Amino acid sequence: MKKFIHPLTVSVFILGVASSCNRPPETFEQAIKKYNEKEFETAIDLFKLTPKEEENWYDSSLVMIDHAVDSVFSITELGKITKLCRTHESDSIVRPYLNRHIKKFWNKNMEANPLLTFNMFDSLRFMLKGLTGVDTLMRKNEDSFFHGIWKCHKGSVKGSEIYFERDKETKLFNGKSNKSTHGWDLGKTIYKDIYYIGNNELDHRVRVFSSTWWGYTTEYFTKTKGKMTIRSNDTLLIDYEGSVNSNNRVFFVRENKKDV
């Protein structure tokens, strides 16, 4: 029968192993010790030293590598997660566990804290190439962020409200006016083709209103005006680069905020 060691039993295992007739490799015992001391990266390196010939202990080492990777991701410190992934991105033993826990971390945190998982996407781009399901996860991440009504509380468009809808054809988000004010008619698209590009920035096109010499107002979408930045899970900054009556920085705050 194969010996699969659950993390809740590792401390008990150390006490009982001396009397076992099938003594584990010394490196396995060292790895268990490091795991209990929460030195997970060192534990992973030691578990990897278990030879395949030690079939029972080799299988147990793989189980413990999985638990150690899970423990690092559970800390939710992107620096430590990124370091672990950088170290083992080409490691045929550890890489499958990293891939699984990246997806698990993303699914677990995106609803409550989409900014965290956007940042994880930035940090782990080198791991995501070729990883199946990434596009689906990013769409879910955007869905978790672009919900509710967002309101501007100061500046030249104070009182304006927007909401976001995913376009059925382009699959990208559009920001639409939730009320008629400041020339923004109810339901009119103000921000178009929005998607996450990295470093908390959102690519998009903005509707520009331009007056002519003849008193007419023309409208068009452009990418050259403004930058959209995620400041928090409930705050968007749109920098119009001076094009909105000198009040060039517009903050939209979600009215139904998430608890993080």
Q: DSSP states of 41-94 as a string?
A: HHHHHHHTTS-TTSHHHHHHHHHHHHHHHHHHHHTT-HHHHHHHHHHHTT-TTT
- In terms of domains, do 120 and 156 share one? no
For residue 240, the model assigns a pLDDT of 74
* Contact (Cβ atoms closer than 8 angstroms) between residue 220 and residue 208: yes
Q: How far is CA 45 from CA 64, 75, 149, in A?
A: 11, 19, 48
For residue 84, the model assigns a pLDDT of 97
Q: What's the structural domain count of the chain? A: 2
- In terms of domains, do 127 and 167 share one? no
For residue 105, the model assigns a pLDDT of 96
- In terms of domains, do 106 and 175 share one? no
- In terms of domains, do 52 and 166 share one? no
> Of 141, 172, 202, which residue constitutes the final position of a domain?
141
For residue 19, the model assigns a pLDDT of 38
User: Which stretches of the chain drop beneath a pLDDT of 70?
Assistant: 1-21, 211-215, 224-226, 241-247, 257-260
For 28, the domain range is: 7-141
pTM (global) more than 0.95 = no
How far apart are the C-alpha atoms of 59 and 229, rounded to whole Å? 46
Tell me the CA end-to-end span of the chain in Å, nearest whole number. Answer: 44
For residue 215, the model assigns a pLDDT of 66
- In terms of domains, do 136 and 152 share one? no
Phi and psi, residue 84, nearest 5°: -60, -45
SS3 state of residue 1 = coil
For residue 223, the model assigns a pLDDT of 81
For residue 80, the model assigns a pLDDT of 96
How far apart are the C-alpha atoms of 255 and 71, rounded to whole Å? 35
For residue 4, the model assigns a pLDDT of 46
